[in-house]
């Protein structure tokens, strides 16, 4: 449907091209190359790409409607790319459905929460352990020892993950009764339950207060430190500048810029399209704070 067009060079001569699997910044786990998609003739994404590396936080920023979540939906298999290629661990997964991608080590959270609201917090995370449960349907129907063992092991793993995101006390509360910030962390715990090597976080700090944002900040750094490649969509520039090593800026479905937080912050086109003067001030303040911590 969508013919692959030659990559339009992004402003500033930057291109979303494939990189070698291992480069100066580390082992590349996920590569999106030249991604394009159209909705009813409207080119929502065109020539967009990034490479996520083990142990690194990559941020994707851009104004509303830039195509960030669309890019996530393509990479996680919910949408099919009209053009381009996605490589997970060197394997072409452009056509793979989400559950296959999860099995290959890619998991995500959602901007608009997709919590299992009828379940308890613990059950939400337990559902995330689906791929690690060995029992079959027959064992489940007749409650054979395999099913009971799977249940016990899954619950233990889920409780450990809830403790990690600071929700140990909420384990047996219905998810629907938890506050917004807790649900954001619950989604992260559920995504972590799949044992991902690549984790996509869609605005994990949106709608969270300063304390909760700090908590999520710490959590993301902790996950990345374990060698997980974290890709982050976030509007909170302070958070982005503080924790990401590499930033990709989208604007109207195209790559506007990419580079280190410092490079992106000082890029005049990024400032004009997105950050504005206020954003720059905020980001530099965050950078200064980051330096103090370091």
Partner 1 sequence: MSARWATLLMLAAVIAIIPWFFPSGFYFRVAALIWVTALAAVGLQILMGQAGQVSLGHAGFVGIGAYTTALGPKYLGLDVLLCLPLGAAVAAAVAFVVGRPILRLKGHYLAVATLGFGMLVTMVLVNEVGITGGPDGTRVPRAALFGWVIRGGESFYWITGGALLLGVWVALNLQHSPSGRALAALHDSEVAARTVGIDVARHKLRAFVIAAVYGAVAGGLLALLNGFVTPDAAGFLASIEYVTMVVIGGLASVPGAVVGAALLVLLPQALTFLHEYEQAVIGLLIMLFMIFLRIGIVPGLAALLRRKPA
| DSSP letter (8 states) at residue 274 | I
The answer for residues whose C-beta is within 8 angstroms of residue 69's C-beta and 6 or more apart is: 111, 202, 233
CA 49 to chain centre: 15
Q: Site residues for partner 1, window 93-132 (CB under 8 A)?
A: 97-99, 101-103, 107-108, 110, 114-119, 123, 126-128, 130-131
Strand partners, 229: 198
Describe the chain by its helix, strand, coil percentages, rounded to 5: 45, 25, 35
Is 61 or 126 the residue whose CB approaches partner 1 more closely?
A: 126
For residue 274, give every residue at least 6 positions away whose Cβ sits within 8 Å of its Cβ, in sequence order, or none: 61, 62, 63, 249, 251, 256
Minimum CB distance to partner 1 smaller for 30 or for 241: 30
- Backbone Cα Rg of the chain: 20
11 contacts partner 1 (rule: CB under 8 A): no
What is the smallest separation between the CB atom of 99 and partner 1, expressed in angstroms?
5
Residue 218 in contact with partner 1, rule: CB under 8 A: no
- Out of 31, 76, 94, 213, point to the residue binding partner 1 (CB under 8 A): 76
Does 142 interact with partner 1 (rule: CB under 8 A)?
Answer: yes
Residue with Cβ nearer partner 1 (184 or 242): 184
Q: Which of 81, 56, 73 is nearest to 1 (CA)?
A: 81
| Contact between 5 and partner 1 per CB under 8 A | no
Q: How far is the CB of 135 from partner 1 (least distance, A)?
A: 6
Binding string, 175-194, against partner 1, x = CB under 8 A?
---------------xx-xx
Pairing state between β 246-251 and 57-61: parallel
Give the CA count within 13 Å in the CB-facing half-sphere of 258: 20
Give me the least distance between CB of 155 and partner 1, in Å please: 11
Using the minimum distance from each CB to partner 1, give the nearer residue, 104 or 280.
104
- Residue 120 phi/psi, 5-degree rounding, is -75, 170
| Binding-site ranges for partner 1 (CB under 8 A) | 76-78, 97-99, 101-103, 107-108, 110, 114-119, 123, 126-128, 130-131, 133, 135, 137, 139-143, 147, 150-151, 154, 190-191, 193-194
């Amino acid at each position: 449907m969508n013919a692959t067009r030659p990559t339009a060079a992004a402003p500033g001569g930057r291109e979303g091209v494939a990189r070698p699997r291992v480069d100066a910044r580390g082992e590349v786990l996920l590569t999106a190359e030249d991604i394009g998609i159209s909705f009813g003739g409207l080119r929502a994404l065109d020539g967009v790409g990034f490479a996520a590396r083990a142990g690194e936080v990559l941020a994707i920023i851009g104004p509303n409607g830039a195509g960030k979540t669309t890019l996530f939906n393509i990479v996680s298999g919910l949408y099919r790319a009209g053009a381009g290629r996605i490589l997970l661990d060197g394997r072409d997964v452009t056509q793979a459905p989400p559950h296959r991608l999860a099995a290959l080590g890619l998991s995500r959270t959602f901007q608009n929460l997709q919590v299992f609201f009828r379940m308890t917090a613990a059950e939400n995370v337990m559902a995330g352990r689906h791929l690690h449960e060995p029992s079959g349907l027959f064992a489940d129907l007749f409650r054979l020892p395999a099913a009971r063992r799977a249940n016990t092991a899954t619950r233990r793993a889920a409780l450990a993950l809830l403790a990690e995101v600071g929700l140990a006390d909420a384990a047996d509360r219905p998810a629907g009764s938890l506050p917004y910030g807790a649900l954001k962390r619950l989604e992260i715990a559920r995504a972590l339950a799949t044992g991902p090597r690549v984790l996509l976080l869609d605005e994990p700090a949106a709608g969270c207060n300063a304390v909760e944002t700090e908590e999520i900040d710490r959590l993301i750094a902790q996950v990345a430190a374990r060698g997980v490649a974290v890709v982050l969509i976030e509007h909170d520039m302070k958070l982005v500048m503080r924790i990401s090593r590499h930033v990709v800026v989208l604007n109207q479905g195209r790559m506007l810029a990419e580079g280190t937080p410092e490079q992106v912050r000082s890029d005049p086109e990024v400032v004009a399209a997105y950050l504005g003067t206020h954003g720059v001030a905020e980001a530099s303040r965050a950078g200064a704070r980051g330096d103090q911590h370091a």
